[in-house]
Amino acid sequence: MTIDDALNAIHRPWVSRNTLTLAQGEELRKNFEELLEQFFDRIAQSVHSGDPADMDDLLREWVMARTQSDLEAHRTSLPSILNHMHLVTYQVARENLPDPDALALLEALLPVFSHCFEYAAHLEIEENIRHISRQLEHANKNLQRLDKSKSDFIAIAAHELKTPLTLIEGYSSMIRDSSQLGSDRNNIEVLLNGIENGANRLRHIIDDMIDVSLIDNNLLSLNFQPLWLNRLFFVLRDEFIDVIEDRSMRLEVVDFPGCDEMTFGDNERLYQAFRNLFSNAIKFTPDGGKITVDGRKLPGFFEITLSDTGIGIDPRDHSVIFEKFGRVGNTSLHSSGKTKFKGGGPGLGLSITRGIIEAHGGSIWVESSGYNETMCPGSTFHVLLPIRSTPHDPKLAKLFALDVDQSTAPPSESAEA
């Protein structure tokens, strides 16, 4: 029997046994059968030409076809597939050929298989090295970004902390001078107020920094309590009404359907989140502008919108502003108050707001046609907040005589009370 005849004799059993043992599932088997047919034809070609390198481009194709997840899970290693195919070759040759023909065929195939092993191992090592280099490059880029954000943090923190510190230093030395000059009590009172303002600003900046680091490290803990959105906006309106009047602005809080329904959330944190949105809307809207709070009830969610008639935001910055220190425009401005037109800030507010909303299982995004200080196209911030009819905490549920529904539980452990 010639080697060709021997190959023909084992062709079908070789393909079907390899397909059955290597591929699982009907669809995969069909594809794999085609690959095995190609492989078998190539083996025959190599045996004919006496050049095992005829196998190379096919092996290269197989190695390249490995996906990223195959590489990460160290799955489908080609040498182990080849090893399996070699074993099947040995079995089907013994089962389908007389011993001397089987031996002659295995001898003819030996150099082809050993070349395949060597070449496949070489290709896989190369591919793994490329994969590891890509991972290292990615890790390196992340480290560089982290390093940059660390230095940004230090630079901006120093910049931000300096203003109130200078205020405190200035007022303290004025108090010293005034006490030496025997200044009256009223004058001292004014200076003490100045120190108090400086200390408050310092505390706000430090609180924001702590919040950002809690959010970054997934440590923001929420205290789920009953809440009513209309009441929350009512308190916010109360807080900002004087500034809004001072700046001749109008504020409209629409009583949208569902805003008076009870839901569960962290009142304090949500107040902080919407407060940031309110203060930004005031800050980036010129005097005489309008701010509107509206919303709607969607299946499972409230969608709250906060629109202003302010300077707007360039679409390229729509995601940047939610990053920490995501200030756009003149970033050398110090914090200059929460409501002054275009007042500078540390750029932490929106990243904290997003962290709070996301910890509740919601999301936030902005719509604005662009940035234009003359035309004032305005911005609309959208907040999606899940409606929770029960608190996550069973003790709280008992307190409110409710059944705990796990499907309404906060998204992560770190977001629990």
Provide the binding-site residues for ligand ADP, judged by CB under 6 A. Answer: 276, 280-281, 284, 308, 310-311, 313, 321, 326-329, 345-351, 379
Residue closer to ligand ADP by CB (options 115, 269) is: 269
Residue closer to ligand ADP by CB (options 101, 160) is: 160
Could you count the other beta carbons within 10 Å of the beta carbon of residue 155?
12
Which DSSP category does 307 fall into? E
State the nearest-atom distance from the C-beta of 222 to ligand ADP, in Å: 21
Rounded Cα distance, 272 and 239, in Å: 12
Residue closer to ligand ADP by CB (options 46, 379) is: 379
| Under 8 Å between Cβ of 105 and 150 | no
For every residue of 174-231, DSSP letters joined together read: HHHHHHHHT--HHHHHHHHHHHHHHHHHHHHHHHHHHHHHHHHTT------EEEEHHH
State the nearest-atom distance from the C-beta of 220 to ligand ADP, in Å: 16
Sheet holding 250-253: strands in order across? 250-253, 290-298, 301-308, 379-386, 363-367
Residue closer to ligand ADP by CB (options 204, 297) is: 204
Tokens of 334: 């110090």
Which residue from 76, 74, 73, 72 is spatially nearest to 135, judged by alpha carbons? Answer: 72
State the nearest-atom distance from the C-beta of 243 to ligand ADP, in Å: 15
Residue closer to ligand ADP by CB (options 76, 331) is: 331
**Which residues, in sequence order, are CB contacts of 304 under 8 Å at separation 6+?**
229, 274, 293, 294, 295, 382, 383, 385
State the nearest-atom distance from the C-beta of 366 to ligand ADP, in Å: 7
Rounded Cα distance, 335 and 347, in Å: 9
State the nearest-atom distance from the C-beta of 355 to ligand ADP, in Å: 11
Which residue from 276, 302, 306 is spatially nearest to 212, judged by alpha carbons? Answer: 276
Residue closer to ligand ADP by CB (options 39, 322) is: 322
Q: How many CA atoms lie within 13 A of 415 on its CB side?
A: 19
State the nearest-atom distance from the C-beta of 352 to ligand ADP, in Å: 8
Residue closer to ligand ADP by CB (options 32, 233) is: 233
Which residue's C-beta sits nearest to ligand ADP?
345
Residue closer to ligand ADP by CB (options 194, 377) is: 377
State the nearest-atom distance from the C-beta of 227 to ligand ADP, in Å: 23
Which residue from 389, 383, 361, 385 is spatially nearest to 262, judged by alpha carbons? Answer: 389
| Under 8 Å between Cβ of 273 and 352 | yes
Rounded Cα distance, 88 and 94, in Å: 10
State the nearest-atom distance from the C-beta of 353 to ligand ADP, in Å: 7
Which residue from 413, 382, 416, 378 is spatially nearest to 396, judged by alpha carbons? Answer: 416
Q: Which amino acid is at 198?
A: G
Residue closer to ligand ADP by CB (options 232, 364) is: 364
State the nearest-atom distance from the C-beta of 198 to ligand ADP, in Å: 18
State the nearest-atom distance from the C-beta of 219 to ligand ADP, in Å: 20
Rounded Cα distance, 94 and 108, in Å: 15
Q: How many CA atoms lie within 13 A of 335 on its CB side?
A: 30
Residue closer to ligand ADP by CB (options 229, 311) is: 311
